[in-house]
């Protein structure tokens, strides 16, 4: 896809993991099926159907790159604005590969935007994605979030509860995380090796460098599938949605 005169809007799906928390999985969890379709395909279709992005980039573990390309092609999703690239060893490495791909293929302009999503969050809504991209007109970085509903405990070590933070000020962060692309690139470029070791979430890249992170409303069904229990819940949610849409 050639860059036009307008800012570019990118959707990125991180699928580099080969986690083993799903005991039943014999392949990477993003390729497991719910309601008869691989999780990663559900996620890709959500981004494509939103029509929000000029290009969708999937960063996948190199050993599964061709497998995913074949899967996309067999389902007639192999459009010229879907790119499959190699992911990296860690999440930060995959994000770096996505940014390097964009910079090499299109360059990066001041008002370009990127939404970064997890391959194993197939229930992201159009509203979350639209709100995220729109919020970037006002803020440099945003993350989807929902209010905490459980009592939260602060434990320094062992089992002793040191405090119970006010639940009204606590939120569960979800993907997607969205950024003005240049802001994300600059933040990632400036991370020290020590800072990289401390980062566990995408928005944390910018927060570590002093960039304000704002939130948009998430959704309780926008769950991340990491365990066998999650897979069972996801099967129920997806089948209910399919029945509702019939």
- Residue 143 confidence (pLDDT) above 70: yes
Whole-model pTM: value is 0.93
Please give the average per-residue pLDDT across 153-175, as a whole number: 95
β-strands 37-38, 33-34: how paired? antiparallel
198-204, long-range: CB < 8 A, 24+ apart:
199/91, 199/92, 201/173, 201/177, 202/91, 202/95, 202/116, 202/143, 202/175, 202/177, 203/141, 203/143, 203/173, 203/177
Tokens describing residue 169: 């000020």
pLDDT digits (tens, 9 = 90+) for 175-200: 999 999 999 999 999 999 999 999 99
CA-to-CA distance for 153 and 175, rounded, in angstroms? 23
């Amino acid at each position: 896809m050639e860059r036009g005169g307008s800012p570019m809007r990118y959707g990125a799906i991180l699928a580099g993991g080969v986690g083993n928390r799903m005991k039943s999985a014999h392949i990477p969890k993003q390729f497991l099926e719910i309601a008869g379709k691989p999780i990663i395909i559900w996620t890709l279709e959500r981004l494509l159907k939103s029509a929000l992005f000029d290009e969708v980039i999937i960063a996948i573990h190199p050993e599964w790159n061709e497998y995913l390309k074949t899967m996309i092609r067999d389902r007639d999703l192999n459009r010229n604005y879907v790119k499959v690239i190699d992911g990296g060893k860690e999440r930060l490495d995959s994000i770096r590969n996505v940014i390097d791909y964009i910079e090499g293929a299109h360059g990066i302009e001041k008002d370009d935007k990127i939404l970064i999503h997890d391959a194993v969050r197939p229930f992201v809504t159009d509203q979350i994605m639209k709100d995220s991209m729109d919020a970037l007109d006002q803020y440099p970085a945003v993350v989807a979030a929902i209010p905490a509903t459980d009592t939260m405990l602060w434990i320094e070590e062992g089992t002793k509860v040191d405090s119970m933070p006010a639940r009204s000020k606590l939120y569960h962060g979800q993907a997607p995380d969205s950024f003005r692309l240049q802001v994300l690139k600059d933040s990632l470029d400036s991370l020290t090796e020590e800072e990289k070791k401390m980062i566990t979430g995408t928005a944390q890249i910018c927060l570590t460098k002093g960039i304000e992170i704002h939130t948009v409303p998430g959704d309780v069904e926008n769950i991340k599938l990491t365990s066998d229990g999650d897979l069972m819940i996801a099967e129920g949610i997806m089948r209910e949605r399919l029945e509702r849409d019939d």
